Amino acid sequence: MHFSTLKNLDLCKNKLRKIKQGMLSGLGSLRVLDLRNNYINRIQPDSFVDMDRLEELYLDNNNLEEIKQGMLSGLMSLTILFLSENSISTIQPNSFVGLDKLTILNLDQNNLETITPGMLAGLKSLKYLSLYDNSISAVYPGSFDGLDKLRQLGLFTNMISDLQPGTLNGLRNLTILSLKDNLLTTFNENVFDPLFIQDVTAANKIFVLWLEGNPIQCLSDVCWIKRGIENRMTIPDYVECTDIPGITLIDYLQYDAQC
């Protein structure tokens, strides 16, 4: 059998433990590679070096603990990468450099504790990033630099208690930000400034911010978001932030009369 013209390869639910250099040689025409539900704990550098036409790579539910430089080299056509349900606690800086066409990256249900500058470098085409259900307690300013095409960012079900100014820099095209089920109590009122660079009041742009499940102390602590749209508007005591035109705070919280 000749595999040189194979377009899709499904290796799910086997007992693969390593991806070695040369293991996938001769599959230069492959578009989709599915390696879900194995026991993969190591991918040698340059294992995908001859797969420059691969568009989708699924590595969900394996035993990866670290993403290293060179692990994903050669995947210049990749648009979708799923790494969810592993045990990833470390992503070396520049590990994603070269994935110029990647638009979807899923890192849900791993063991990441921090997001740091350089960790997501090189993802200039990324539109969807999901980091649901990790153990993230800190997102450092500059971590999202270069992700100016990102539209959806999922940080829900983590342990984030604070967002510093500069954390969201560069995300001028973001339309959906989920911070549900974290430990946020209040916000520095400049943290969302980069998101207001876009014209969120335009009819075709709605910015959606999920804050449900956080121990936010007072509704007035976040009503300044309104200033990002109409900074000359006053906010009466009885107005809820869910009434802000152009912004939708989904499943947010009820007005607290004690604030």
pLDDT digits 0-9 by tens, 89-142 = 999 999 999 999 999 999 999 999 999 999 999 999 999 999 999 999 999 999
Average pLDDT score over the chain: 83
**The CATH fold of domain 1-111:** 3.80.10
CA distance 31 to 159: 37
Quote the pTM value.
0.86
Q: Count the neighbouring beta carbons within 10 Å of the beta carbon of residue 182.
A: 22
The backbone region for 130, taken as left when phi is positive above 0, alpha when psi lies in -120 to 50, beta otherwise, is beta
DSSP label at 219? G
Q: Name the band, by pLDDT with cuts 50, 70 and 90, for residue 224.
A: low
Q: Name the band, by pLDDT with cuts 50, 70 and 90, for residue 209.
A: confident
CA distance 32 to 81: 10
- pLDDT value, residue 259: 35
Instruction: Please state which CATH number belongs to domain 130-259.
Output: 3.80.10.10
CA distance 43 to 54: 16
Does the structure show a pLDDT above 70 at 247?
no
The CA-atom distances, in angstroms, between 239 and each of 133, 218, 229, 232, 236 are: 33, 13, 16, 15, 6
- pLDDT value, residue 257: 30
| pLDDT tens-digit map of 161-180 | 999 989 999 898 998 999 99
Residues of the chain within CATH 3.80.10.10 domain(s) are: 1-111, 130-259
Q: Residue 121: which of 154, 99, 150, 139 has the closest Cα?
A: 99
CA distance 153 to 156: 9
Question: Based on the number of CB atoms within 10 Å of its own CB, is 81 exposed (0-12), middle (13-18) or buried (19 or more)?
Answer: buried
- Distance from CA of residue 63 to its chain's centroid? 20
